[in-house]
Structure 1
Amino acid sequence: MTKYLEILDDQLELIKRSRRIVVSRIQEAIARRGICTIALAGGSTPKPLYEKLAQENLPWEQIHIFWGDERYVPADHPDSNQRMARQAWLDQVPMPPNNIHPMPTDAADPYLDAATYDATLRAFFGDQTWPAFDIILLGMGDDGHTASLFPQTAALAVSDRLITVGEKQGEPRLTFTVPLINAAHHIIFLVAGHNKQEALQQIFHSEADGFAYPSKLIEPDHGILWWLLDAAAGDRLTPHDTIYQTNPHPAL
């Protein structure tokens, strides 16, 4: 496992950097095995990245899109992660519809829909116990949550499923489990804003409690973990706070 930390000047530079990394990893995966699998994040921070990716000239028929979490709302709801990604990126490029694999939210039972998406992933990836996505994009809340893995919730301890049900203030959400995220080849956190500083200081400390700050639980089994922060988010971090290293290959 390799872990990189980069603190960019502002959110514009954060998006430029993440675009460069994502495009290079897409190209690398396709060159290596003919396809690239990506799990998307919701929230406001990745939206401009998706808008930039929509401008790329990529072999869309070789890219498969999944979601790392989803609010339990219809696909056309304003809060839907799928809706945001489609509007910002997927509907703007000639990606085959069968290459887009959204989380289902229409069974009126989040646990049933979680099991359905679990089966979808297992059918797509085959016999892998923990499917290895080429890229998983993640955001982070000011409470340290990522995907829909919230502090001190039962979803954090799930280790026998790919998909489980997270919960925020009584509202269910579908989410990747921690082991599924940690199986990825590249995990990329995009974090922006002053309100993330306190959680980041906890997460980057070697003694942090992952059940209090779930992003701390993201420790890839064999892949690369990238933390891309804007200066507002990373302002309070010092070399003492982190065991991460600066990326020695900034051209990636």
Structure 2
Amino acid sequence: MITWRNFDDRAQMVDALEEDTSEALSRAIRRNGRAAWAVSGGSTPKPLFEAMAQVALPWEDVQVALVDERWVDTNHPRSNEAFMRGALQTGLAAEAHFVGMKSKHDNPWEAAADVNKRYSSLAQPFASVLLGMGSDGHTASFFPDAEGLEAALDMRKDALCVALTAKKSEVTGDEVDRMSLSASAIAASPHIALMITGEEKKTVLERALEKDTHLPVARLAEVADITVYWAP
């Protein structure tokens, strides 16, 4: 299910997301003593990360992990882990525990068992999950027609992380091998935020929900309660 929250500008959207994410993390810490926050890469969430890094949370009780990762080393310019650490592992948030997905394995398929073991140490369910969306209707690393997509979206599977290989496109770039949270791991979170900006992506999402329901973002919305935070 999708709930829309539309804002006049991106600063308002970031303020609302900062407040809602902080409350979700605080609520989990009060209940369980710790909280895990799953985040996505890309340029859109950077202002949120910068804002969150200054929030006075008990960050030592927060685990920050990735929603998905390109299967590249952390010194690669398109590494989500490198982006996450550079944008968020600063200020007050530097006290958090940061967990990446990339391992020494040659591909994500070989790494799936080890990455699942690593993620099993995180507080579950995730207190908050931050998603993005591409112009092709993908979210997390759920790309249209990707190898592994059906398993990733299968709510009967209890794996936290799944390997996928996308079909190469302008959106994927050369990095088609991916690791991603599974749909079941995402759907278990009480706060799932889909952060998008611009009219193009709004149109893509609206069309996916109304007509192109085969697109991954629409399929995830069938099994997860997602709040869309949108600004022009």
Provide the TM-score with structure 1 as the length reference: 0.79
Q: Specify the alignment match of 1:163 in structure 2.
A: 161
Match of 1:248 in 2: none
CA distance in 1, matches of 2:93, 2:19: 21
Q: Does 1:209 align with 2:213?
A: yes
> What code does the residue aligned with 1:181 have?
I
Tell me the amino acid that sits aligned with residue 119 of structure 1.
K
Instruction: Report the Cα distance in structure 2 between the residues aligned to 1:94 and 1:204, rounded to whole angstroms.
Output: 35
**In the alignment, structure 1 residue 60 sits paired with structure 2 residue 86:** no
Give the match for residue 75 of structure 2: 76
Alignment of 1:88-237 (within 5 A): 88-93=87-92, 95-96=94-95, 99-124=97-122, 131-158=124-151, 159=154, 160=157, 161-168=159-166, 169=168, 171-205=176-210, 208-210=212-214, 213-219=215-221, 224-230=225-231, 232=232
Shift of 1:201: 1.7
Q: Deviations over 1:114-157 (max 9, x none)?
A: 221111223445xxxxx421111000001110011101223321
Q: CA deviation at 1:89?
A: 1.2
Post-superposition shift, 1:78?
A: 1.6
Checking the alignment, whether the CA contact within 8 Å between 1:203 and 1:215 is kept in structure 2 is yes
How far residue 44 of structure 1 moved from its aligned partner, in angstroms, is 1.0
2:194 aligned partner, one-letter code: F
Contact 1:104-1:116 within 8 A present in 2 as well: no
Extract unaligned runs of 5+ from structure 2: 169-173
1:66 aligns to what SS in structure 2?
Answer: strand
Conserved? CA contact 1:75–1:105, under 8 Å: no
Q: Which residue of 1 aligns with 2:17?
A: 18
Q: Closer, same or farther in 2 for the Cα pair 1:178/1:224, shift >3 Å?
A: closer
- Aligned pairs, number: 220
In the aligned structure 2, how far is the partner of 1:31 from the partner of 1:225? Answer: 23
Partners of 2:29 and 2:130 in 1: how far apart? 18
Query: For the residues of structure 1 that align with 2:2 and 2:138, how far apart are their CA atoms?
Result: 19
Task: Give the counterpart letter for 1:150 in structure 2.
Answer: F
Q: What is the Cα deviation at residue 172 of structure 1?
A: 0.4
Runs of 4+ in structure 1 deviating by more than 3 angstroms, as ranges, are 91-97
Unaligned runs of 5+ residues in structure 1 are: 126-130, 233-252
Q: CA RMSD in A?
A: 2.1
Among all aligned residue pairs of Structure 1 and Structure 2, give the percentage whose two residues are the same amino acid.
28
Q: Following TM superposition, by how much is the alpha carbon of 1:42 offset from its aligned partner in structure 2, in angstroms?
A: 0.9
CA contact 1:181–1:220 (8 Å) conserved in 2: no
Highest CA radius of gyration, 1 or 2? 1
- Give 1:111's aligned amino acid: W
Secondary structure, aligned partner of 1:204: helix
Q: Distance in 1 between matches of 2:122 and 2:133?
A: 27
Shift of 1:193: 1.6
Give the stretch that moved more between structures: 22-31 or 168-177.
168-177
The alignment partner of 2:125 has SS state of coil
The whole-number CA distance in structure 1 between the counterparts of 2:86 and 2:37 is: 17
In 2, Cα distance between equivalents of 1:4 and 1:190: 12
Distance 2:130 2:105 in 1: 26
Task: Name the SS for the 2:64 alignment partner.
Answer: strand
